[in-house]
């Protein structure tokens, strides 16, 4: 009786999942930026208009955090997820503005066993987030660890010499 719907064995390269959407408010953008990224273009309309972004926009870390929330709520909570060692090639392609609705798409690139732990496997994925105009606002390539459904059998002991 499995505890989760998805274990490492259930992931295959090429699988694409739509992981829902979220709408971000002006208040949420300012609240996150006040706490973690108080740069003028995340807090102040006039400063933001004069910036390269052209208007008040979300911290890139806020965009990542919103993607993570969709990932957990609409996927990871049904999996044997054990966290992530890191990621690569993170791009904030476009600014995220107040009222934007962001959807997350998740594609599996590759899976491999973990050499150090027989009960854990790694999964390499692309996260892509799009706004309501179908413009991509976020891209990243992450590694995640998942518990395996069944441990591989222990290696057969070498014959006594």
Contact positions toward a second copy, by CB under 8 A?
A: 32, 35-39, 41, 51-53, 59-61, 64-66, 68-69, 72-73, 76-77, 81-92, 120, 139, 145
The nearest distance, CB 24 to a second copy, in angstroms, is 12
| Closest to a second copy by CB, 117 or 159 | 117
| Closest to a second copy by CB, 89 or 161 | 89
What is the distance of C-alpha 33 from the center of its chain? 20
Q: Find the Cα–Cα–Cα–Cα dihedral 47, 52, 54, 56, rounded to 10°.
A: -50
| Closest to a second copy by CB, 86 or 157 | 86
The nearest distance, CB 129 to a second copy, in angstroms, is 13
The nearest distance, CB 28 to a second copy, in angstroms, is 10
CB of 21 closer than 8 Å to CB of 101: yes
- For the residues of 135-152, what is the DSSP string, one character each? -EEEEEEEEEEEE-SSPP
CB of 94 closer than 8 Å to CB of 131: yes
The nearest distance, CB 85 to a second copy, in angstroms, is 6
The nearest distance, CB 87 to a second copy, in angstroms, is 5
Distances (CA, A) of 60 to 37, 79, 90, 109, 115: 9, 27, 10, 24, 34
| Closest to a second copy by CB, 116 or 133 | 116
| Closest to a second copy by CB, 83 or 160 | 83
Find tokens 């949420």 and name the residue. Answer: 28
């Amino acid at each position: 009786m499995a505890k989760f719907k998805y274990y490492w064995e259930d992931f295959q390269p090429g699988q694409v999942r739509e992981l829902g959407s979220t709408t971000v408010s002006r208040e949420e953008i300012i609240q996150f930026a006040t706490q973690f990224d108080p740069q003028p273009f995340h807090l102040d309309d006039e400063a933001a208009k004069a910036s390269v972004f052209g208007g008040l926009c979300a911290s890139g870390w806020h965009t990542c955090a919103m993607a993570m929330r969709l990932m957990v709520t609409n996927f990871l909570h049904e999996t044997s997820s054990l966290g992530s060692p890191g990621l690569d090639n993170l791009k904030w392609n476009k600014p995220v503005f107040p009222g934007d609705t962001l959807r997350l798409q998740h594609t599996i690139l590759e899976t491999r066993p973990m050499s150090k732990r027989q009960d854990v496997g790694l999964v390499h994925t692309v996260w892509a987030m799009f706004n309501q105009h179908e413009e991509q606002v976020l891209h990243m390539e992450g590694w995640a660890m998942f518990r395996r459904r069944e441990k591989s059998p222990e290696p057969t002991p070498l014959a006594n010499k």
